[in-house]
Chains A and B, each alone.
Chain A
Amino acid sequence: MKIANKTVTAERLVRDALEKAKHFSDYHIFTFLNEENAIKKAREIDRKIAAGEKVGRLAGVPYALKDNFLSPEGETTASAHILEGFVSPVTATAVKKLEDEGAIMIGRTNLDAFAHGSSTENSYFGPTHNAFDFDRVAGGSSGGSAVAVALDIVEFATGTDTGGSIRQPASFNGVYGLKPTYGCISRYGVVAMASSTDCVGFFAQTPDDMDVLMSIASGQDSKDMTTLPDYYGSAEPESTNKRRIGIIKDFDNESVDPEIQKALAQKVELLRSRGHEIVDLSMPSLKYALAAYYIIVPAEVASNLSRYDGVRYGFRSKESTTLNELYDNTRSEGFMSENKRRIMIGNFVLSSGFYDAYFLKAAKARTLIIGEYEKAFSKVDFILTPVSPNPAFKLGEKVNDPIAMYLEDMMSVSLNLAGVPGLAIPAGKNKTGLPIGLQLVGPRRSDKNLIQFSKELEEND
């Protein structure tokens, strides 16, 4: 990462980033550009450098912030109409940690409203375009962040991953995207999607950048009871460099695009040639992951979205004369179709008489999946799989077919249910020039090793 110093000023870095952001404005990457504040902050860092004062590890590094992170800079909308006009009085822990190290937010990035989606087409502000093919989706839900890094507007961007929302857009745009272990980075100040699977993570251009970001952002936070005791910095990279890599045989079927299968096979060969052991894994419970995910997550979504009622902040429908009308109109007008679909599914599976049949069963499936990963990691150090069954699809292609859209998540959601980390790694392009991504999965708390090992997948050319 380019860090401000005596030769390159923070103001130069920030101005360049803002310039590029404007240049690519038709990609719909940003929902807000932080021009005034960003330049002001850059100048302050330059002053410190000139004065020989201490600056942070990310001094003057411009970054893009997914628009579901709370900070007083710009409106925090989560790309949802219902949060229109909402300026947060508080700052998310992750944002604070980055800014304390001197990183400068140049803009907020587009997402599927409330992170519900796999294409960023569900945004109130319109879809973000793929960095490599303007007619294709950016992936989602962190589409804006992925494209901002892919087009080199910024060197890193924040994301959130509830079922693949970092890894899938990273793979669609050829950048690194990490979903850390659940609880590694504080969720405080991040608009909640599904509390038990939400993870804060990053898009970056290299594994080393990812490592720096993780060492800064990770750690226990008293404001988030689900954060794990600090482990990232203290985790020693293991001494042996020969690893056992698992390949999940259950995914080896026709639902995965042949070119992605080929990319996976090539990486497997590369690893083998570098002396690593390849182990075939059978993980039959993973077939329940998508179904369990689309029960547990909508339930938590419906619950977490209950607070958007038009009473205290954000959008409020006019023309309401009674309390119930206020609720009905505000929520009808303020939520996107996909939000409503998940709220309805969520409320259905939680309703009296259906809880045992759906939610409880899904929770049991989740326990099976957790067990299956534990078993797998007793045999292998990492697992290598595709991120999604297909490369970036056309804008509008799946937007009216929720099931097809949900199927895009079939390889990513099980990690969220199990709480294990996954790193999306660029693995070349297909014939039409679209990026292909693979994900490296590790046991809980293996984030650092995962990032280090991903270098083994880089070709030496």
Chain B
Amino acid sequence: MKKVLYFLLVFGMAIGTGWAADTVKIPVASPFTGQLASFGEGVKNAALLKAEEVNAAGGINGKKVEILLEDELCDPKEAATVATKLANNKEISIVIGHLCSSATLAALPIYRDAKLPAISPASTNVNICKMSPFYFRNVYKDDFQGTFLARYIDRVKGYKKVAVFYEVNDYSMGLMGAFMKEAVKLGIQILGTEAYTAETTDFKPQLTKFKMMKPDAIFIPGYAPQGTLIISQAASLGMKVGVFGADGLDDAIMLENPDAEGLFVTTPFLPDQAGPAAAGFIKAYTKKYGVEPNWFAANTYDAVGMAVAAIKAVGQDRVKIQQWLLSINTKENAYEGVTGKTYFDENGDCLKDAYIKVVKDGKWVGAEKQMM
């Protein structure tokens, strides 16, 4: 009994004291601890970097931006609790998050009921933006990338036989589905598909199977931590095949892997042709954190940028911010950030250009032949 009262008291006080409104608070909810902490690392770094830059340039209408880091471990339970906390804080007018689709979908009804707009930098589940007018995302839709990659390997690379090595999650399976649908249309032969889970570190059994099929290339619609292991292990089995993936493989750890030479991935912007904004971002990020930014970082950086732009334009009103985000719906009035031009469709899914970049001599470079 006393314990309950004490809990109440501490909660009330701690929340109460946080309510002094001289900064603009932008919460960033992601896994910063737990099994998927490595994904949250880029999110955290990029959000803090962007806020630092905005503050150095005078903040939002004179107010400083303060990033609230909300750790949720990719656990839907914690995500929903965090969402409730944010939804009930009147000072919060937009949320950046969440990262895992499962966390996003658990938090979604809470943001929707509180009319609190949110931008996810990474959740790709097809349902997210359809289910709530208040959910936006600054990440490719899976079907777009999958289709794009199928066309690219058909027209530019000329691969005829492809094996697909996917992770059992919605991101990977969405990509694989779109890729295979288009590939079949184009007459590319899918030799086989094999699955792995995020906990896997040993991919040799599946790769050995692929090796016997003798494919031209392997498509890895997964994330970089596993992707780099797959590439190394394929090389150690003596497989010499093309390897390609989507934005999930776009990570600096690929550059440390000598076997990743020749890997190509989709990207919203080309590093060697990037505008000054992107080049500056890569430089500042690398200088501050000692690693190159991955796609989580780049998307988060722009998501925070969009939130700042929205608040600058219409103030801290939840519904007005949502309307403002919905209003950037053409290439002409798109938000120009480090991930190229971003604009939303009527659901809140973002639309972006796609390019192909390759690992060459331990650096990401734009592929010689792009597909327009």
A binds B: no
> Which A residues are closer than 8 A to B by beta carbons?
none
